[in-house]
Chain A
Amino acid sequence: MIVELGHYALVLGLVLSLAQMVVPMIGLRTNDARMLSVAPSLTVATFLVIAVSFAALTWAYVTSDFSVRNVWANSFSDKPMIFKITGVWGNHEGSMLLWILTLALFGALVAFFGGNLPSRLKAAVLSVQGSVTVAFALFILLTSNPFERLSPPPLEGRDLNPILQDIGLAIHPPLLYLGYVGFSICFSFAVAALIEGRIDAAWARWVRPWTLVSWVFLTAGISMGSYWAYYELGWGGWWFWDPVENASFMPWLIGTALLHSALVMEKREAMKVWTILLAILAFSFSLLGTFLVRSGVLTSVHSFATDPQRGLFILMILVFFIGGSLILFALRAGTLRNGGMFHPVSREGALVLNNLFLTTATATVLVGTLYPLLVEAVSGEKISVGAPYFNYTFIPLMIPLLMAVPFGPLLAWKRGNLAAAAERLWLVAAISLVAALAIAWLAYDAPVLSAFAYALAFWLVIGSFADILQKAGFVRNGWSKGWARLRGLPRANWGTALAHAGLGITTLGIVGVTTLEDETVLRMTPGETTSFAGYDVAFNSLTPGKGPNFTYDKGIFTISRDGRVIGTVEPEKRVYVASRMPTTEAGIQTVGLFSQYYLALGDAVEGSEDIVVRIWWKPWVTLIWYGTVIMVAAGLISLSDRRLRIGAPVAARRRRDEALAAAKAEPAE
């Protein structure tokens, strides 16, 4: 009964979203205020019924109702409760329901927080958002119905893919969806602005918080996915340039560009057309990602069961929304008047440079991701484009961008002084170089060339704070006054500095683990001790056991250095009862704060007690994720800035801006 209710609610969601799309649009045409004013209520109603639908499916999972095909195929009665719940989105149908729930949620948030939006713009935004909801609700109902029943109902389910029975599934997909579905709001704002033919700095002030929210979630989602893959797959890698990783990385790159270009638009009313285009592209890449993941056109570690009909349907959605919005863009972009001019060396110029590199890098990733499809279609030859290509093209584009990052915030709007900025940064450059040389040469005897990569990372981390340190003016004002000024800086300034520093810390982790990591594969007998990367690893025992829905063989290893025990790791090989599927659980010991010792078990060697063990030494690896955590925190800090706060009274904002401008000789932020 509850399952049918969920199905019914989803159909109702389709109908309501159809109304959400059509009614305000008619209102816009006829300038009917009543029709415009129902848009928010319709949007909230759409969200509520889809939430009911999602809750119904969750209920079916929680109660292990195997008469529902989707539950039978992806659940098991002995599975721990947390994995029963996360199993809702551990499959194609359920995850699409989460997708559309997120879509409706963002619409509802705009309806809820959009009190001070012009009513026409708000109605247009919600209408466009409604049209996306319609498309995906149709997709779910026609091709991927999660509420389908089985008759007769089976006694036991087939269980969720064991790799997904991990806390990572509880965190990674919801965050990721909040991120890339969140860009739908930017898309809706862009299309609404094109429909209305009007765009100004107020529009950018509206779009930027939504971009920031999506960006924060997407950053967190990608980073969590990376850590999940790192510890769960047992391959010891943290990024594989897998097509599906690329599918989430491209919206991130474009979203990052959008975040920066919206800033120019907000402050200077320049780059309007470009910002609109980026807002459209960010969501287009999200749609492309959805298509790549669900259609199975590319070989990937992530893949859902594929069905050509689904792929075709999403392709149609993709063509309609991307094509439609780009046509609208081509027709209307010319009517948007561009704002202030600026000198190439200026804050605007730096942000243009940022956008140039980010979009170019996105293009190279896109080409690499789609090239195998193109080649296969043209010549029938099967190729794969992997890490070598992406490292070869992406890294050279990132190096100049990362070098330029500390300069950006130091340049003034309209016309900056590069020499003055360089003068402020020379100390940073000197410190970075010395630190890098020290690491590359003294501590680790790595190739001296890698010193450049370390220097770049330090340059980013330290240089990111140059702007706020300069604003504090410790030298000029003394410690106490400088400290007070530092605390009084707008949070957005802190956000910028921390986000850039976080990027630097991630870079440092990447450089560290890439240049210094080491690995070995060996046969070990219980009782044996081996020495690797300066640590001793004792293989104590291999013991079998039984978990809730799996059996395992657990190896117990003690890691020590110079006789001092660092820790014990317990890598496992599991076999899940229902699916008979084996999995590997890596054993990871963090050494110091940032480095990890990573063990994975292989197969037992026939005719002996030996087992194959693969050991990695991963120096500084956790910095990769600490850096992203700092970026997320920076995004949140920035979001809490009064000037970005949605609905902050305009008058108060103006007063504050004036006060800031008066307090400082150099421009605020």
Chain B
Amino acid sequence: ATAETSWNMPARSNTQNYMTKNIIEFVEDVAENSGGEIKIDVHPEDSLVRQPDVLRAVQTQQVELGEYLMSMQSNLSPIFAVDAIPFLAVGYEANRKLAKAARPAIEEELAKRGVKLLFIQSWPRQGIYADKEINDLSDFDGVTMRAYNPSTARLAELMGATPVTIQQSEVPQAFATGVVEAMITSPTTGVDTQAWDFVSHFYDVEAFITWNVIVMNQDVFDGLSKDEQEAVMKASAAAEKRAWKNAPAVTEEQIATLAENGITVKKPNDAFLAGLKEIGKAMLGEWLETAGDEGQAVIDRYRAME
């Protein structure tokens, strides 16, 4: 790459988000490591390419690299939903191991599309937002719950709630008017949409931790000089390290923000948690059925690290 042409990189969130900040740091690192040869323009918040199209855009070189929520593409391969299996890997320590265990399978799946995985960064752990107190799963009977992908829909279903697909943009309105009564998402999304305006309770159930993947077109990467490749990979490794180091602190900070603004933040009680764990087991079983031997291998690798 010459200094005149800069790469375009869609990032998922707004510039205040810690993951976007991390990406901007990554971009600065790449520039520095490559002696200013590689310039990257970050386009935050779907302003260039919408989330569902990022993988395709990178694959076909509409952009050189980009960030998207990995599980968004879970319809392409069950491997992309490994981070969305509830209670498989609780806590950042365990989750990072899961990422390590799953990485070869993810890389392989992406490689089929000529796409290279640069790094994985984690969202804050997902919890359950509700407009009432939850004591056990029976409290979800007849409750409408927002689902945004097949796994959250299945989770809601197993919890006994009615899954409802609502676009992110319509979530506050839908809560305000009662179209949805509960959702499962991260504290970040809760803070970004100012969830205290429309829900009363946040249950820190630590269901799962979703990942954003930062991917690059393989041909573009192969077209770089050895030094430039080195520069990109070095910055990627640093970015991944930073992301996982920052995530826990950011999570606590954002949960505190939820509480400060009047949301009742709670850990689930034993009955509630036990019910959820049952569902987690069931969903792992279902996932293994679709993911086959490849999926089993990931799980085995992860269990060996535990």
Q: Do A and B come from one complex?
A: no
Q: Which residues of A contact B (CB under 8 A)?
A: none
Q: Which residues of B contact A (CB under 8 A)?
A: none
